[in-house]
Structures are given as structure tokens and as C-alpha cells.
Structure 1
Amino acid sequence: MTRELTQNRIQKIWEPTKDDRPAPRRAAGAPHFANPPTVIVMVGLPARGKTYMSKKLTRYLNWIGMPTKVFNVGEYRREAVKNYSSYDFFKPDNECAVKIRQQCALAALRDVTSYLKDEGGQVAVFDATNTTRDRRELILQFGSENGFKIFFIESVCDDPSVIASNIMEVKVSCPDYRDCNKTDAMLDFQRRIECYKTSYQPLDPDQYDRDLSFIKVIDVGRRFLVNRIQDHIQSKIVYYLMNIHVQPRTIYLCRHGESTDNLQGRLGGDAGLSPRGKQFAAALAGFVQEQQLKDLKVWTSQLCCSIQTAEHLGVPYEQWKALNEIDAGMCEEMTYDEMKEKYPEEFALRDEDKYYYRYPAGESYQDLVQRVEPVIMDLERQENVLVICHQAIMRCLLAYFLDKSAEEMPYLKCPLHTVLKLTPVAYGCKVESMSLNVEAVNTHRDRPEEVKRGPGTLIRRNSVTPLTSPESNIKKPRIDDLDQAPIHELPPTGASLALCSPSRLPLSLSQTNRPPVSEGGFTLSLSKVNTLEALHCFILSLCQQPHLTLIPSDQHTQRTVAQRTLYTKNLRRRSLGLRDVLQPMKLH
């Protein structure tokens, strides 16, 4: 029985106009979020891992594209009081010290405001003890006055061994105890904790704090208590905190053995190992045996060279599609010289912004970050792991562990036949590079010193190939120009659809005079489908502000690749292809 679909047409369209262009964004290339900024407030006694969680969480949020910064009140206090004497400074009856600490907290909050309002920040982490309800009420009032969401993270731990370990590994080496031996530092810090205990008021989920948004991390992740999660950012924070652990472990990262495509300098592909690549695979097996790692897990991609490298180990391995190399789209299996000759504009665009640049019908480094995020979550849960992956994937993983920026990520050096040993430490990650003494071709390409733009070259992050000539009548606006637009009614006619079958960018763009569009504007051409509302809902869910013009069109059979690209500032941030979602709709 044929299912009858609704015939109601789309009632609203979005059309970019010349007069309603937005002000420049605060942070070029940073994702735009509809949510107000978030302030993460740490809560708990000293030596409970608050700073560890703050730094780790900040690293993760920056890596996924949410500009985040830690504001540690202890650093403000050290700046205000140059010479720390003893735990007496933290006694609740020390009125002078209490005033100093209060002023330091207020100074940190002022900097939080500047960061979130003026510097393009999306999340600020307020790292302090915040053990009293009065202090937390002050922070809630601060958030209300500035339009910030407040999310509390309380770390509760009563395990003496964990507390002692934290003090010895981190606290005794902090600037407060620079000229003090470890025994005296340990004793003083324990007394400092006792000072805080006298006024500590934990978060109360049953009564006093039941309306607040927070997570309690109990005994370093043995248990969690989550209360009133309000948005996507808070849910990601909770999910991340529930995956991390502090047990000692080692992560080994390496690329597959040299492939035949590597020898020819080709992008992507699924070639097998070269003779030297097979030699590296055998050397890697010997290296793993020498490490004598307990319960080592081996992860590979689903590509031939990665699997062949793992097969020499003689141990079970797990294949991850998410670890496949970056998809070069139409440039797949080309050399750099071939790409430069065939698509010179694309080659130049890639050099301008390698992180955001997306290969035509392929992926960008930003897409890879979204793709490998589940891998990061699983890595945080594991103990000893060997990951055999590819150059771009390895760069994404390294950028997370080493806290590298989006600008640095695409140029991190990840040579073939080299194993990187990552050992998480207190507030970071220790890296050791070990070459297995098997020669290999160098696939690293340095950042261009100077990028020259020719006539007609556009500053874009989404690729459109082939590019039109400077004399073309089709004008391609900057992505940042398509931001806000007025709403207009759709004419009461049927819509039409244009799909490009092999491409990941299946919707078409055309410039037309029906209805009039502002200079440089685009219209989206859809064909006759009964699932128009479903398609529209999907686009709306994918793009918070899609800014598309829906028009009737019968001329959708002759399209260039440049016109077969949905060119919006929001869609370029999504790694999922529309074709994968539209295919089940049985469009005609």
C-alpha cells in the first residue's frame, strides 16, 4: 500500500539580501552556536582533581571547535600575594586573606566576562574551590546578569590514597612550595585542606541545589550524579567526564607501513604495502613484543595498508571506519602536482586554510575531528592501545593529546615507520618518538611560506570544482556573507529536485531571476518530490540558519560541478553527506 504524503508546500524561505548582512563574526572560522556562552564552575576541596578535569575538558572542547579557556583563581591569588607563607592564609577567620581571595575571584570573573563577550569565547572554566553556597550564589548572579549559562562540576573524593597521590604528584611542585621540601609541603597542604573542610557545603541535589545544572564526580569516576542537563554543550561535557580516567596507561600511535601509493605521492587510495612497508610491519611486531604490554589492544582503519600492517603483529585487532584516511574526493589518488595542474584554484585554497578546506566531494580536517571524536572517547576509556592509522587521522589524534590548535593540526609531523608513545601525565601528555629504522618516503608537506592569489581566486573554505573564470556571470559570495536574511513567502508552484549521484553534495545551486536575489546571492533548486517537508525539516535540523531560497525550477538536468554544491556557511561544518540521508526518501 502506497503511503500518502502531505501535499502542503513550504511556507517560508530564506533569502540573503544586501541590506541585512551581519557584522563580522568574532572568531573567523569558529563554529557559530545559538546557545549563550557557558561558564563551567568547579566545586570541591583541594587535591580532588579539579584542575586536572578543567585542563582536560578545556583541551577537548577546544579540539571539537568550542573556544574554551580556564580561569584558575589560584593563579590570580599568587599574582596578588607574591610570597606564600603557610596554610594560615586559608583559615576562614583570617579576614584579610578572605578579602584578598574574594577580590581574586571577582577579578577572574571580570576576565571571564571579557573572554566570553569580547574575545570570541564560547565556554569559560572557573577553576576554584567554590565550596560555600554564598560563593556559588555570587557566581549564579554573575551568570544571570551577563546572560551566561552556569554548569557546576563537583569533584568528591574521600580515598586517602588518591588524595595523597594527587598532592605528591602535583601540589608539592606548585609555585607555593618552590622553596620547600616535599615533606613540609605535604603537611602544609593537608592542613590547607582542613581549613576548607570547616566551611565546605557540597552541592545538594535533593533540596537546596536541585534546580541547578551540575554533575558530581565521585571517587575519580567510580560514580556520577547528574542533575538537570540543559543543552548540547552540557551533555557533551557530562559524556566526556564519564569517559576519562586517571589510571596509568600508554597510547601508541603510528601510521601504516609505506604503501605503493605513498611511493608515487598519491592522495588517499587503498593500496597495499610496499616492500619497505612490509619490513616496517615486521619491525613493529618485534617492537610490540619488546614493550611487554599487558592487555594491549590494537586498532586499525578499514584500509588495506593499515590492516596488512596489523596482521604481522599476530594479535587480534579491531577495525575502525572512523580511522580511514581523509577523503580527498575528486582529488583521490592524484599527486599534488596533478591536483595543482588540474585544479589550481583548489590547490591554492587548500594552502590558504588547510584545516577548513574541504576537498571537492571530500572531507576537511574539521570533518575528520568530528569523525574521530568517538575514537577519542574510546581511547579515554582504554588502558594500553596501539592505533595504526593514517597521516591526517594521526594529526587529529595528536592535536587532541598535545593541545594543538586548528591552525597547527594539518602541519603536525607524523613520519612513516615511526611510533609515537603517549603517556598521560598530571596536566598534559608526554610524547616519545621512536623510529624503527626502516627507510620510507617523506609524505610531509610544510606550510607554504606565502600564498599568492590569482585573479578570480576566492577566499573560501568549502571547495567548488571546477571554479568559474573571472568573466563568469555566476558570482560566489563569501560564506560569511550568508548569515541573516529576511523571510519571504514561497510562490504556490511545485518544487523541483536536482541531485548529483556520486557526490556528497547532492543539492544544486543556481543564480536566477525568479524570485529576485541580492547581488551575489544563490537559490536552491529542488525538484518534484512528495517529501518536500521531510527534506526541508532535514535541512533545518542540519543548519541552524540555512539561509536558502527555495524556487520552482524545471531546468535542473544540466549542472556543472560548481552548481551542484550546497554552498552555505553552516553545511560546510557537517561531515555527513546529504546524499546518505536523502537516498531513503526515494526522490524522483
Structure 2
Amino acid sequence: ARELTQNPLQKTWEPYDNGLPAGHSAQRGVCMTNCPTLIVMVGLPARGKTYISKKLTRYLNWIGVPTKEFNVGQYRRDLVKKYKSFEFFLPDNEEGLKIRKQCALAALNDVRQYLSEENGHVAVFDATNTTRERRETIYKFGEENGYKTFFVESVCVDPEVIAANIVQVKLGSPDYVDCSNDEATEDFMKRIECYKNSYETLDETLDKDLSYIKIMDVGRSYLVNRVMDHIQSRIVYYLMNIHVTPRSIYLCRHGESELNLKGRIGGDPGLSVRGKEFAKSLAQFINEQNIKDLKVWTSQMKRTIQTAEALGVPYEQWKVLNEIDAGVCEEMTYEEIQENYPLEFALRDQDKYRYRYPKGESYEDLVQRLEPVIMELERQENVLVICHQAVMRCLLAYFLDKPAEQLPYLKCPLHTVLKLTPVAYGCKVESIFLNVEAVNTHRDKPENVDISRPPEEALVTVPAHQ
């Protein structure tokens, strides 16, 4: 007889048959609304497929959708330790074909493991997948396993875009460690030619039943076909917002506030004397950086607006950039929270990402609230965001691909600017302290998170304050 058992962590009820989990609906070949999604990249080499895969994976994980990418090129490198030349990719190289097929199957096997056994929601299958036959095989694989398949094709005809892709990514590839740049470029161009003859692009008529987005010249235009559900529409929405123009994003907190000095959280205080000093230093720093068309964003809180005022440039206020709402704990010190709400304080230490202040917010809520900011940051070029500790942690976790468990403990000190510059597949971070002292507001997770802990063990990591 089937019984229901609750998974205490995920708060989900699951049917059990004779003490064992009852089969997942997908294993019975039924495609439910909420079934896993298989994203399949399509396109010639050096078209930004891996860039898109990594970025999409990072975004979906950040919004709370468990996602993993499977790069078939990496499977090949693991199998064939030494790359010799483009000849491996020739259509009549039987050994090469055999190895490439073997790698694709190994990757699909891992996709199945991840989506059907490990509770993954989205898998990104990153390979060229340039023939209709190969895509048909993958589509059938998805159908057999109860996944929805969504294709993402990147088409580039602009020679400048292709050249930039080759320089940025392929020259740093493990395939070309022992080559000069010219040798690598020449070999890689020949590798692209190997695929060109058999390349069949997604076609409005022939592929009318497939779900896909086709991206032309990194976002010059798009073709979207048969979007089947919420997750596919989120993917399309995201992919239509990203670009590859070089730029930098500057993140910093407001200057030190009156409540920071007193160790109190939240509230809407003004800047301290040192906070005002920082605002002047920030203006000087931004001036010296000589940034083209810089946009400045703040929250709607007094301390970020006062910081931006010193810059003497136009700025925009965003309500969604306001600090995390601490609910009943607003304007309290950690000592007061421990005294008045010891249970809440312990529960927050046990799971800081998901814990929600009574009548307030959690970091998880904050990530949902900040999604429009991420979309807009992806669209923009140079931006300075003057925000708050919890908000900055969420934004930083997105750009640096940090998991939810680490997010609430990322260090975002006062009076320090973080300059983020997107590079090939990630983000370069420079931390610039502007030489104006400020209090430390970072509280690490204490060792004892038990609800019956003594107060001194709860307060051991609280930073010093007035």
C-alpha cells in the first residue's frame, strides 16, 4: 500500500510503496507539466555556445532552479588526453567519429543520472549538435526519459564576432597549450570547416514542432518557436537580455551609517562623519576611472542616496535595491535579538539563506526581488550600484556563481568598491578599499547553532560596535 512520507528539508510529501520510494512519474514515460528540462545547444564552434551554457546555468541556479551543464568537449578531452589537430574532426575520420559519439553518449548518460536520480531540474547539453539526425537522437532520448527538450542555437555571420570568440576563448583552450596563437587560430578555423559542410540550422518549416530559440549574431535578432512552459519562457527572457560588449560593473555599499556605528541592523539612518568622507572618496575614485556612459543606481534609502549625491551625477533610485527587511528585528543590535528572540536568532544561524525574519524577508526572498536588477545589469554596459550588505551579497553571488549556502556569508565590507569585469567564462573581481576607516558589520556563522545554546555562544561572532 502507498503511504505518504514527508521529506523534512524540502517540505515535500512523497509516496512510498512497502517502505521504498514509489516510481517517479517521469520513469513511467509521462511528461508532466513540471518535468525536467533538457537544454540542447546548437551551433558551429566559436559561436558562444559554452559562454551561453555557463551563463544560463549560473542564472538558473541563482534563481533556485537546480541546473548543471554537460560540455561534450570536456568529455573528449578527458578521454583523449592529447589533442593533435583538426583532422580529429574530419567527417571521414572514423576513429574520431567513434570517440565523439562515445563522448556524447557518456554525457547523455550523466544527464539522465542528474535529472532522474539526483533531483536536477535542468541539464544543459553543450555540444555542436549541428545535424538534424543528432538532434533527433537527443530529442528521442528526452522523450524516453520524460524530459522537455529546448534547443538554443547560436548563429554568427559577423566575422568580427567570430574572430573575437576565437581569440577570447579558444586560444586559452587546453587543446592549444603548446601552440602559438597563429597555429591555434589556423587549426581552429579548419576545425570549424569540418562542421560547416554537414551543418543544418534549425528551420522554421522543418523544425516547426520543436521548442527553440535561435540567436543571431549574439543578440542582433532572435527567432523563438513553441515555448512550452514557464521555465522555457524564463530561459528565453534571460537569453534576450545578455550581451557580450566589454564593460565593468561596480558594486559598493553606502557609506558608514549612524546605525552601523551602533551595531544596529536595518532602519533608514543617515551617514556618519566617516560615511560622508567615503562618499567624497567614491566621487574622486569614479572620476579617476574615467568611465564611459556610467549609470548610477541606488536604493530608496537615505544612506545610499546621500552616498550618490556626493558624485554630482544623475542617479536612479530603485525600490528593489532596498536592504533586506528584518521585520520585527529592524533597528535592533544582535545582542537585543538574542535577548528578545533567542529561538529566531538560532534558526537564522541554522539556515541563513532560507530563514525569514518575522514580518520580514529571507535571502531567498531577496534573490527573487532582485531578479529584475540582474536582468537590467545584463542589458547595460557600465553601471555603479550603491546598495546594502545583503543586497550586494545576492548580486555578487550571481556574478561569482556562489551557492545559496555561501551567499549570506560573502564579505562585502563598507567603504570598498568591487569592480566586476566579465571575462571569457566568468568574472574578474578587483576589490578597492578607498582608505576611509569604517566599522566591520560582518558576522560569521557561530559554531553552536543549537536553539538551546547559551547567549555567549550565540554572540561570539558579533563584530564590535559602540
Question: What is the TM-score when the length of structure 1 is the normalising length?
Answer: 0.72
Could you say which structure has the larger radius of gyration?
A: 1
The 10-residue stretch of structure 1 (167-176 or 336-345) with the greater mean CA deviation from structure 2: 167-176
How do 1:254-333 and structure 2 match up within 5 A?
254-333=252-331
How do 1:138-149 and structure 2 match up within 5 A?
138-149=137-148
Measured against aligned partners, the alpha-carbon deviations of 1:275-328 in whole angstroms (never above 9, x if no partner) come to 110000111111111011111100000000000000000000000000000000
> d(CA) in 1 for partners of 2:33 and 2:390?
30
Task: Tell me the amino acid that sits aligned with residue 220 of structure 1.
Answer: V
- Cα deviation for residue 449 of structure 1 reads 2.2
- Indicate the SS of the match to 2:5: coil
| Structure 1 equivalent of residue 7 of structure 2 | 24
| Structure 1 equivalent of residue 392 of structure 2 | 394
Q: Contact 1:394/1:414 (CA < 8 Å) preserved in 2?
A: yes
> d(CA) in 2 for partners of 1:219 and 1:444?
44
Residue in structure 2 matching 1:243, options 241, 244, 253: 241
- Cα deviation for residue 22 of structure 1 reads 3.4
Measured against aligned partners, the alpha-carbon deviations of 1:508-551 in whole angstroms (never above 9, x if no partner) come to xxxxxxxxxxxxxxxxxxxxxxxxxxxxxxxxxxxxxxxxxxxx
| Structure 2 equivalent of residue 125 of structure 1 | 124
> d(CA) in 2 for partners of 1:21 and 1:268?
42
Q: Normalized per residue, which structure has more helix?
A: 2
Q: Normalized per residue, which structure has more strand?
A: 2
| Structure 2 equivalent of residue 57 of structure 1 | 56
| Structure 2 equivalent of residue 355 of structure 1 | 353
- Cα deviation for residue 21 of structure 1 reads 3.1
| Structure 2 equivalent of residue 369 of structure 1 | 367
> d(CA) in 2 for partners of 1:146 and 1:189?
35
How do 1:159-558 and structure 2 match up within 5 A?
159-205=158-204, 207-454=205-452
Whether 1:39 and 2:22 are equivalent positions in the alignment is: no
Measured against aligned partners, the alpha-carbon deviations of 1:314-363 in whole angstroms (never above 9, x if no partner) come to 00000000000000001111110000000000000000000000000100
Measured against aligned partners, the alpha-carbon deviations of 1:39-75 in whole angstroms (never above 9, x if no partner) come to 1000000000000000000000000000100100001
| Structure 2 equivalent of residue 150 of structure 1 | 149
| Structure 2 equivalent of residue 486 of structure 1 | none
> d(CA) in 2 for partners of 1:29 and 1:282?
49
- Cα deviation for residue 118 of structure 1 reads 1.3
- Indicate the SS of the match to 1:288: helix
Unaligned runs of at least 5 residues, structure 2? 15-31, 454-466
Q: Contact 2:422/2:428 (CA < 8 Å) preserved in 1?
A: yes
Q: Contact 1:63/1:400 (CA < 8 Å) preserved in 2?
A: yes
- Cα deviation for residue 161 of structure 1 reads 1.2
- Indicate the SS of the match to 2:314: coil
Q: Contact 1:131/1:199 (CA < 8 Å) preserved in 2?
A: yes
> d(CA) in 2 for partners of 1:284 and 1:242?
33
Q: Contact 2:304/2:387 (CA < 8 Å) preserved in 1?
A: yes
- Cα deviation for residue 452 of structure 1 reads 2.1
- Indicate the SS of the match to 1:153: strand
> d(CA) in 2 for partners of 1:39 and 1:346?
40
- Indicate the SS of the match to 1:152: strand
CA-atom RMSD in angstroms: 1.5
CA separation of 1:193 and 1:370: change in aligned 2, threshold 3 A: same
- Indicate the SS of the match to 1:387: strand
> d(CA) in 1 for partners of 2:5 and 2:169?
47
Measured against aligned partners, the alpha-carbon deviations of 1:192-230 in whole angstroms (never above 9, x if no partner) come to 00000010000011x210010000000010000000001
> d(CA) in 1 for partners of 2:342 and 2:73?
52
> d(CA) in 2 for partners of 1:186 and 1:22?
58
The 10-residue stretch of structure 1 (428-437 or 32-41) with the greater mean CA deviation from structure 2: 32-41
- Indicate the SS of the match to 2:7: coil
> d(CA) in 2 for partners of 1:303 and 1:20?
51
User: Higher RCO, 1 or 2 (CA under 8 Å, sep at least 6)?
Assistant: 1
CA separation of 1:215 and 1:420: change in aligned 2, threshold 3 A: same
CA separation of 1:23 and 1:90: change in aligned 2, threshold 3 A: farther
Q: Contact 2:342/2:451 (CA < 8 Å) preserved in 1?
A: no
Q: Contact 1:365/1:392 (CA < 8 Å) preserved in 2?
A: yes
- Indicate the SS of the match to 1:21: strand
- Cα deviation for residue 96 of structure 1 reads 1.7
Unaligned runs of at least 5 residues, structure 1? 1-18, 456-588
> d(CA) in 2 for partners of 1:161 and 1:232?
35
Measured against aligned partners, the alpha-carbon deviations of 1:366-409 in whole angstroms (never above 9, x if no partner) come to 00000000000000010110000000000000000000000000
Measured against aligned partners, the alpha-carbon deviations of 1:105-147 in whole angstroms (never above 9, x if no partner) come to 0110000000011112100000000000110000011001000
- Cα deviation for residue 24 of structure 1 reads 2.8
- Cα deviation for residue 29 of structure 1 reads 8.0
> d(CA) in 1 for partners of 2:179 and 2:441?
49
| Structure 2 equivalent of residue 582 of structure 1 | none
| Structure 1 equivalent of residue 68 of structure 2 | 69
- Cα deviation for residue 95 of structure 1 reads 1.5
Aligned residue pairs, count: 434
> d(CA) in 1 for partners of 2:137 and 2:3?
39
Q: Percent identity?
A: 71
Q: Contact 1:322/1:371 (CA < 8 Å) preserved in 2?
A: yes
Q: Contact 1:254/1:417 (CA < 8 Å) preserved in 2?
A: yes
| Structure 1 equivalent of residue 114 of structure 2 | 115
Q: Contact 1:29/1:356 (CA < 8 Å) preserved in 2?
A: no
Task: Tell me the amino acid that sits aligned with residue 119 of structure 2.
Answer: G
How do 1:83-98 and structure 2 match up within 5 A?
83-98=82-97
> d(CA) in 2 for partners of 1:446 and 1:47?
43
- Indicate the SS of the match to 1:368: helix
The 10-residue stretch of structure 1 (228-237 or 78-87) with the greater mean CA deviation from structure 2: 78-87
> d(CA) in 2 for partners of 1:275 and 1:440?
10
> d(CA) in 1 for partners of 2:357 and 2:85?
59
> d(CA) in 2 for partners of 1:338 and 1:23?
35
Q: Contact 2:299/2:387 (CA < 8 Å) preserved in 1?
A: yes
- Cα deviation for residue 448 of structure 1 reads 1.6
Task: Tell me the amino acid that sits aligned with residue 85 of structure 1.
Answer: K
Task: Tell me the amino acid that sits aligned with residue 436 of structure 1.
Answer: L
- Cα deviation for residue 104 of structure 1 reads 0.7
- Indicate the SS of the match to 1:22: strand
- Cα deviation for residue 34 of structure 1 reads 5.8
- Cα deviation for residue 97 of structure 1 reads 1.1
Q: Contact 1:38/1:150 (CA < 8 Å) preserved in 2?
A: yes
> d(CA) in 2 for partners of 1:97 and 1:440?
60
Task: Tell me the amino acid that sits aligned with residue 432 of structure 1.
Answer: E
- Indicate the SS of the match to 1:66: coil
